[in-house]
Structure formats: C-alpha cells, structure tokens
Structure 1
Amino acid sequence: MNAAVPICAIVPPYVLDRLAEAGHEPAVRSLALDTAHRAARLTAPPPTAGARGLNRVIADTGHSQRLPGRTVRTEGHAPVADPSVNHAYDGLGDTFALYAQVFGRDSIDGRGLRLDASVHYGQNYENAFWNGRRMVFGDGDGRIFGDFTACVDVIGHELTHGVTQFTAGLEYQDQPGALNESVSDVFGSLVKQYALHQSAADADWLIGAGLLAPGIQGVALRSMKAPGTAYDDPQLGKDPQPAHMRDYVNTTQDNGGVHINSGIPNHAFYLLATALGGQAWDRAGRIWYDALTGGGLSADADFTAFARATVAAAKARYPDRSSIADTVSASWAQVGVSPG
C-alpha cells in the first residue's frame, strides 16, 4: 500500500493537550513531536515479502529523535541488559504469535514483513506510535506515564494499525477512524489475553494497564468493559469514552474523536466475547478478523457498515450456528448500533 498512513499513537492528543496546558514539559515536547509526525503523513512502503516466520529488529535511538537508531537486538539473539529492548522484542513476538497461530497471518502485512521497533525515542517522550513502517516507543517521564514498552497490549494495538493499513485501510477520521482505533484496541487486548492464556471472563479488558505512573488516579488508558472509567485524575482529566451511541461525542478534536468514540465498538466486542464465553480470540476474534480482512469494507466504513460486516462474517464462518450471528447483532444493538 502506497497511500499516506496516519501516525497512530497510543496516548490521545487531548490527553497531551491537557498536560501541556498545565505546563507539563514532557507533554509539551511530546505533543510537538506528535504534531510534527502527523504533519509528515509518512508514505508507507509497499508490503514486501520477507523470510517466512518471525523476524524482529530492535533499535535504540539513544533518546534522540533520529530513526531508526542503533540496532541492539535481532531475531534469535539472547536478551540484553536493557529491559525496554527485551520488552519490545517480546511484545513484537507475542503479537506475531496471535496473528500467525490463531489467524494464519504471516506478520502484519500477511507477507512476512519484518517487525522493526525503536526504543528510547526522544527525551521522556510520552507516547508510542506506529508510523507505517515501524514501532516507536518513548520512555515516559515516570510522573504521568511509565515505559511504553512495558504493556504488551500497547504493542499489539500499535502493530494492529499496520494490519489495518494493509487490509481495510480505514480512514483516520470520524467513525472510520474510531473503528481504526477500536480494531487496534480489540486485537491489542487479544494479544495480551493470548499471551497470558486468559479466557474472556478472566481478562481485564484494559488498554495500557500499568502504563500510568504511581499516584495517577486511574487504571489504564481505556476500558473496553466499562468505557469512560479508565481514569479520573486532576492532571489527566476524566476518561471521555462513551459506551453507547446515545453518548456519541461530536468533536473536531482528535480527528473527530477517534480515540473517544472507539469506546462504542470496543464495548460491542467486549459484550460479544463475554456472551460467547471461552477464549475471546477463538470466536469473537475470528469474526472481527474476518470482517477486517475480508475485502468487503470500504475505507470510509462507519459503525453500521462494520457491524454488518461482522454479522456477515459470523454467518459465513458459522453457517450452522445461527445463534452466533444473532449474538453479534445483539451485542451491537446493546451499544445502539443496528446492523440492519
């Protein structure tokens, strides 16, 4: 895919905006970097076939803003002394494992794309992002956010932006953008659940649990189980995510609320996975994956279009079990979206 790819970062711009307005210097620097990256609108290289199987390369920018940095660990090499390098390496592997072992996908492009990541980006950089070519991780400042390599679901989230890039190519604006973010949250959570061998009932359904520094009043960046409850902190503000279309947020911020309104499809997936029971990647995850990669979604798909795609995917995958498609429809109805 040669189209311009949005810079998709895990910490929403409205969170950094609030911190920057309060004079939090790392957030001021991070917001400036994020703004510059988004303005660049990188053109991703076309997917190129690599060696079959997992192939990771981790680089260290040495707190500079120059990418990719110095290569510090490659596929098959032993752990190094730097935990950020090892966390990134392991998280790339966990993400690859979910897509390969559950969905039969060879890396994020489906053609063996090498997984590249850079750690220690910038000075106390308060974010992690996929730039269309590689994962980039900041260290956080320890006061608001910790090391961004430490949460495997954050890594799964960001790499899934690559999967979306190479499949449905959902636009990064308004409802298509919220779907883009939601799909990354869904599969980021599934990466964590798969790595931990958790059932849907056992999972915490949090995105970025452990990322907030001690003293911050919150548990994560987002909650799929209960959107709007992940944090409520004097510095961060209150989690703005809705769980239902009646509370849909119309805004010009955040590309039309892509990190905000993603709570609605996130909650639909949570409802489906817990209603079906067992391991969320097994049935609910396969349905979402089929909808994303099946070729039937347009880049400007809204929530209703995606809901219809998931119902169609459930019928196609489970033709003799109509109750599964009915449960998909019911899950969307519970968040105010009618598949029709």
Structure 2
Amino acid sequence: MSFTTPAIDDDSAAIVADPIATFAVPLPLDAPLAHAVVGLGRFGCVHARKLLALSGFHLRALVDCSSSARAASELAALPLLPSLDDLPPGIASVTVATSDDAHAEVAMALMRRGCHVLVEKPLCTDRHEGALMIRTARQCGVTLSTGHIERFNPVFDEAVLIRLRNAAASHSQGQQGRRPFMRFRRYSTRVATARDSVLDLMVHDIDLFAWLCAIPVEAPLEVLARHIGEQSIRARVRLGALIAEFESGYGSMPASARLHVCDGHREQLLDLRRSTATATGDDALTRQYQGFRRAILGQASRVASGADGLVAVTRACQILHA
C-alpha cells in the first residue's frame, strides 16, 4: 500500500487568524529564554530538572491542570500554575509535555501568546491538528519544534552522519536498494498494546530513518509488509528509494533500541541506548535544548521542526492503519 505525505497547507487544515494573537519579539543572541514546562508527568519532570541547570534558559514556571499535580522537591521553588492563563508575562519559550492528545490544543494556545514551543513526540495524534499547529506557528511568527531526541544521540556524530548519508545515496542507486538499508528494533518494559508502540516508540525510528538518510518530507511511503503480534509490531516499508524494517513493542524483556545498517557487504550494529553523553558530558536532552534555542535564533540545528514531527506522525499512522 502506497501513501504520499499530505501537504501541510491542505485546505482541510485552514485556520482562522486569531485577532488577539501575540507575535514573538526578536531575542538578543545571548539572552536566556524565560521558559515554562506544561505537563508534570514523568517526561515533564525530566525536562524541568534539566532546564534548571541549562544555560540559555531561565525556567520560571510549571503548569499542570491536574488537582493532584505535585512538583519534585528540587522544583518546589517554582510556581506551579493550574492554567496557561496564569503564566507570568514575558515567557518566551515553553515545553509541552502533556498527554499526547492535548499536544495540539496546548501548543496552539501557547503560540498565540507569542511563545516558541518544543512539543514532546509525537507532535500530535491527528495529522489535521498537526497542520493547524504548523499554520499557527507561521501566523504567529514563532518556532515550533518536536522532541525527536534521538537526533541528538551521541552515536550520530557528524562523521557518522556523513558516512550514513553517503551510504544511503549509494545504496539507493545500486542493486542492493531492493534490500533493507536499515533495521530498527525498539522495546520498552512499560505495559501497553503493540499498537500503542507505534506512536510511542516506532515514531522515533521513522523520524531517524528519514533524517539519517536525508529523505525529503514529500517522499512517498509504501508499506511492503506488516505483522502485529500480542506485544510487538513489525513493518517493512519503502520510503523514497530506500527500504527499512521497523520493530517496536513492550514486554518483560530489557528495554532496548538498536539500529542495524546493511550497506552492501558492510554491516554495522549501533546500540542507541549505550551512549548517553558526549565527551563534554552533555546528554541528548541538553543537546536538544541547545538545538531548540538555535532554531529560535534562526540558526542551523538538528532539532526536528513541526513539519518533521507531522511527517513522522503521518508515516507512523500509515503503518498503523495499512
């Protein structure tokens, strides 16, 4: 089954301009960004703790509408607010770490306040909402980024990235292009259904495959084979001129994330969980925030854009519903 990624300017995603929208103001290159985190679940707390010590950001507030929300002890000095309406003035950037189905609504409300937004993956759960998010960012003049943190895995340094992209170009042009160029396998110990793993786990690798191989967002995706088991899902797809295999799931086995690169007679196995920090001690989350800040300032960055996030969700849903 073949699919073409929908254009983000699809008429079905039209948005009415908000007359009270606030546009982001230009920021000095050395100014710390007044920042907030929305959503204090497990991931939200991880983001908040990281931001406390990050240069370039000044964490000023936490937001969670749940009456049972509690901040960890190291975050207790920050105001814990029940609503976006309670955010203090001057907040320049926000992390959205709410439940997946609330990402779009929360992010668009923040962008209309003039905030740059980093949304935890997946960007959204519906591609039409994703298109609305991208249009809102454009209309409000803000940066919308997606938390595809694997782009900042230290495994993928510049030398490895160049080598993989060169290998991808050679692979797609040769006879070996009929065989999978990359195989991804990602498992978590949490309890959920195999289908849940597609937007939770596999979406990481769908984005990684396209980014590592420099596959354009408009490249068509064809689902060649798919199997859904009790605890896992496997899919073989053709994206552009390259074939990849994805496997994700949950269970009692140890959490894992692996990439097998099959380039002609040379094969390489990369353990994506083994390397967690760079030589300077920066982990992937630190590097992602540095990339987010560069994107806000209009500088080159690895951080996934809103469009990248929407394409990853669209392709994941195509695999899920093929």
TM-score, normalization by structure 1: 0.29
The structure carrying a bigger strand percent of its residues is 2
- Higher helix fraction (1 or 2): 1
Larger radius of gyration: 2
Higher relative contact order (Cα pairs below 8 Å, separated by 6+ residues): 2
Query: Please, what TM-score do these two structures have when normalized by structure 2?
Result: 0.30
